[in-house]
Amino acid sequence: MSTIIMSQCWPLQGMTPAQKAVLVSLADNANDQGVCWPSVESIAMRTCLSERSVQNSIKWLIEQGALHAQQRNGRSTVYTVTPAAFAPPQQLRGANKDETPANNDRTPAAFAPTPATAAPRTVNEPSRNRKEPSNTGAGKKSKQPDEIEIELPDWLPADAWTDWVEHRREIKAPLTQRAAELSIKTLAKLKAQGNNPVEVIEQSVLSGKWTALYPVKDRHGGQAGTAKQHMNFDGKNYGEGIGDDGRF
């Protein structure tokens, strides 16, 4: 390896990473006169490039004057690394510390980084006091002004749940996270008993003061989902009437 040739190759610009890798690999094999004769296969192994890419890079380096090749019949090609023929003169002499060559001020357009066309942007939006309710069904989340975040079941509309949260806040009994979870659990139980969850919430809201959820009262003052029965001491249900045999 020639440190003289290698030190002349490192500053060179205006070539692709593959072309630079091939040039440095050749310089690493060269003597102080820049002469070497490695095979294309060995260069490909050292640079992790394909043999075709190595051949294309060698061709380009020869065209630009950084490399000279001499074909030998039946033997490997002899290369002479000539960085002086490629690099600007000030690069080999060493640039003045107080002066920067104009040609080095800009990155060649061919190698300038290109920003992603679909790069994501971060946008900071002002927070709103209330989010629009979502009616997407099961798994939807409702986040209220009190910072309560809870998944609503598919049978409970988001706007009905919002009414319940706002009602609790208006009567000075805002829901906590745990209270919200228990409210969903209570609504599920009442629904299983035949109560409409929306009507259950509306009933508590219309009361103007209720902090809990109760079975919906029917127009007779009873509770929906619970059948009235008239039982005797023997467990007979007289509300069912008389059977075909004349007995209750």
Name the pLDDT band for 247 (thresholds 50, 70, 90). Answer: low
pLDDT tens-place string over residues 128-141 = 445 555 554 445 55
Extents of the domains making up the chain: 3-85, 158-207
Residue 220 has a pLDDT of 47
pLDDT tens-place string over residues 133-174 = 555 444 555 554 456 788 999 999 999 999 999 999 999 999
Beta strands in the chain (DSSP E): 35-36, 67-72, 75-81, 140-143, 149-152
pLDDT higher than threshold 80 for residue 240:
no
- On average, the pLDDT of the chain sits at 75
pLDDT higher than threshold 50 for residue 177:
yes
CA gap 191, 177 in Å, rounded: 21
CATH of region 3-85, choose from 3.80.30.20, 3.10.20.30, 3.40.920.10, 1.10.10.10: 1.10.10.10
User: Are the C-beta atoms of residues 131 and 165 closer than 8 Å to each other?
Assistant: no
How much of the chain exceeds pLDDT 90, in percent? Answer: 45
What CA–CA distances, in Å, run from 110 to 15, 16, 45, 138? 9, 9, 27, 52
CA gap 197, 208 in Å, rounded: 18
